[in-house]
């Protein structure tokens, strides 16, 4: 299974124009005057089928938020389809929450491999090349789709996200109310145990990491 994953810039909830012309009501705020509600988007696109999964979180964009989104995606797959998978390949950019040196992210990915029983391969894009990650095209389509609409509340935002299309299909959209803590990291001792589970490519050790289930 080939997946492309990434988070998008935080979406402000309220009467904001977001840099475009507003639809319907022409009155919109063009500055963040103490926005109280924001949503963090995380996306997964299955490259072979084109199915898009979007999770919006009301907490922080962290390693745990990203991997929890992956686990939710996995749990939604029928068991017969899970059974035939042997290898899950993830295309990831080198953002701070999911980089190849982020201790909490790599720890959670080891746990994900053990939970699924599948080989996990992390393929990272070089700096300034994340635009080639397929999920980035989905974010562009979403922004075009709701550009000019005032996302006055979370329900409106979710409705717009559900009505977009990618490869001829609507995405699976979920709202997460989980709370996350920033700055979670591992001790050196704990990290050494996790590092023993990685297989870094001899040719591209920073950009290609294989994790086998225990």
Ordered mean pLDDT values, 10 residues apiece, the chain (214 residues): 94 74 52 70 96 95 96 96 96 91 93 97 91 93 90 94 96 96 89 91 94 96
Model confidence over 164-208: pLDDT tens digits?
999 999 999 999 999 999 989 888 888 898 999 999 999 999 899
The pLDDT value recorded for residue 147 is 87
The pLDDT value recorded for residue 207 is 94
Strands (E), the chain: 2-7, 11-12, 38-46, 52-57, 87-92, 119-124, 172-176, 198-200, 208-211
Tell me the C-alpha distance between 150 and 17, whole Å.
Answer: 6
The pLDDT value recorded for residue 1 is 96
List residues bridging with 206 in a β-sheet: none
List residues bridging with 119 in a β-sheet: 87
pTM across the whole model:
0.88
The pLDDT value recorded for residue 86 is 95
The pLDDT value recorded for residue 20 is 54
Residue pair 69/41 in contact by the 8 Å Cβ criterion: no
Long-range contacts of 192-200 (CB under 8 A, 24+ apart): 194/103, 194/106, 194/107, 194/110, 197/110, 197/113, 198/106, 198/110
The pLDDT value recorded for residue 29 is 52
Tell me the C-alpha distance between 115 and 113, whole Å.
Answer: 6
């Amino acid at each position: 299974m080939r997946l492309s994953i990434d988070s998008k810039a935080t979406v402000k909830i309220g009467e904001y124009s977001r840099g475009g012309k507003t639809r319907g009501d022409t009155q919109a705020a063009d500055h963040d005057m103490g926005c109280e509600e924001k949503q963090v988007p995380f996306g997964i696109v299955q490259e072979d089928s084109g199915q898009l999964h979007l999770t919006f979180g009301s907490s922080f964009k962290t390693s745990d938020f990203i991997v929890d989104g992956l686990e939710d995606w996995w749990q939604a797959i029928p068991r017969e389809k899970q059974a035939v998978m042997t290898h899950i390949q993830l295309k990831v950019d080198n953002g701070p929450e999911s980089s190849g040196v982020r201790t909490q992210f790599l720890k959670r990915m080891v746990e994900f491999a053990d939970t699924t029983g599948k080989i996990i391969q992390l393929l990272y894009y070089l700096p300034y090349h994340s635009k080639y990650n397929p999920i980035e095209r989905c974010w562009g389509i979403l922004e075009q789709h709701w550009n000019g609409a005032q996302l006055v509340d979370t329900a409106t935002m979710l409705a717009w996200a559900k009505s977009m299309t990618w490869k001829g299909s609507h995405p699976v959209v979920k709202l997460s109310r989980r709370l996350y803590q920033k700055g979670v990291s591992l001790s050196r001792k704990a990290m050494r145990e996790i590092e023993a589970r990685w297989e870094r490519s001899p040719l591209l050790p920073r950009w290609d990491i294989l994790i086998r289930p225990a």
